[in-house]
Amino acid sequence: MHEISLRAEEVFHIGSWPVTNALLLAIVSLLVLLSLGLAIKRKINLIPGKIQSIFELLLEQILKFMDSVLGDRRLSEKYLPLIATIFLFIMTSNWLGLFPFVGPVGLNLEHDGEHSFIPLFRAPASDLNFTIALAVISLISINLLGIFAIGFKNHFSKFFNTHKPFPVISFVGLLEFLSEFVKIVSFSFRLFGNVFAGEVLLLIVGFLVPYLVPLPFLFLEVFVGFIQAFIFSMLTLVFVAMAVKHEAH
C-alpha cells in the first residue's frame, strides 16, 4: 500500500510549472470529454445517432432540473454550459479516479536518496487545488451572471446597502458578502472530503481484503462520484438563480 498523502504528488515539471497526478487525470478527463464532444459535433444530425441520443437525454434531464430551479427554459439554456460542464467534469474525473490504473500505476522516484512510489494518476477531486479552482470559478461565474442579469449596482446592493433598519440590514449584507467567500470553502471541502475519503476507504479495504469485499465500496464510490457532481452543480445553479433575480427591498 502506498502512502496516503493529503496533497497531490508532483509527477514532473514543465519549467517551473508543476504537474501533479491529480492534474494529469484532470487533463485525461478533459481529453475524454473533448473526444466525446468532437464525436458528437462530427455526427450531429436532426435524426440523432447513439452518442447524440445519450447526450441529448442527459442534457434534457439537466435542463429539466434547471427548469425546476429557474422556472424558465430560456434561462436554463443560457446557463446550461456552466452547470452541465461542472457536472460532467466532476463526474467524469470522479469515475476515472475509480479505474484500476489509478493508484497502482506510477513511478518509482529517488528523492534525497530515498525511493518513493508516486502514482501516475489520482482522482482530481482528491486534490484541493481542483476543488478550490472549481469553487472559485463557480463563485466568480455566479457573481458575473448576477451583474449581467440585474446590473452591477443592483447585484452588489445585496451586500452593501443602507436600507432601514440601517445597522441590522447593513450587517446582514456584510455577512452575505462574507458568506460568498465561505461558499468557496464549503464547495471545495465538501467535494474534496467526500472523494478523498472514498479513495482512502477503497485503498484500506483493498489492502485488508483484496477480493470481492471492495466491490460494494466501489459501487458506493460510483454513486458518491455522481452525487457529489450533482450537488456541486445544483448548488451552483441555486446560487445563480438567486443572483440573477432582482430582489425588491
Partner 1 sequence: MSELIHQLGLDWKLLASQGVNFLILLASLTFLVYKPLIKITEERRKKIELGLAGAEEAEKRLKQIDVLKEEKLAEADKGAIKIIGEAEKKGSKRFEEILKNAESRADEVMVEATRVAEQKKQEELNRLTEKANALIKEAIVKMVELDPKYIDDKLISRAAEVIRKKA
Please confirm whether the linkage preceding 165 is cis (ω < 30° from 0).
yes
Q: Which one of 21-29, 113-121, 209-217, 228-236 is the stretch in contact with partner 1 (CB under 8 A)?
A: 21-29
Nearest to 177 by CA among 161, 158, 164, 154: 158
d(CA 220, CA 28): 23
Contact region with partner 1 (CB under 8 A), list: 51-59, 100-108, 110-118, 200-208: 51-59
Estimate to the nearest angstrom the gap between the alpha carbon of 55 and the chain centroid.
19
Q: Total residues contacting partner 1 (rule CB under 8 A)?
A: 46
Determine which residue in the list 133, 139, 147, 231 makes contact with partner 1, applying CB under 8 A. Answer: 133
Contact of 125 with 116, CB cutoff 8 Å:
no
Crossing angle between the packed helical segments 128-150 and 166-208, to the nearest 10 degrees: 150
8 is an interface residue for partner 1 by CB under 8 A:
yes
Residue 88 or 98: the one with the smaller Cβ distance to partner 1 is 88
Pick one of 69, 109, 120, 136: the residue that binds partner 1 (CB under 8 A). 136
CB 122 within 8 A of CB 96: no
Amino acid letter for position 151: G
* Contacting partner 1 within 194-223 (CB under 8 A): none
Binding residues vs partner 1 (CB under 8 A): 6-8, 16-20, 23, 26-27, 30, 33-34, 36-38, 40-41, 44-46, 48, 52, 55-56, 59-60, 77, 80-82, 84-85, 88-89, 124, 127-130, 132-134, 136-137
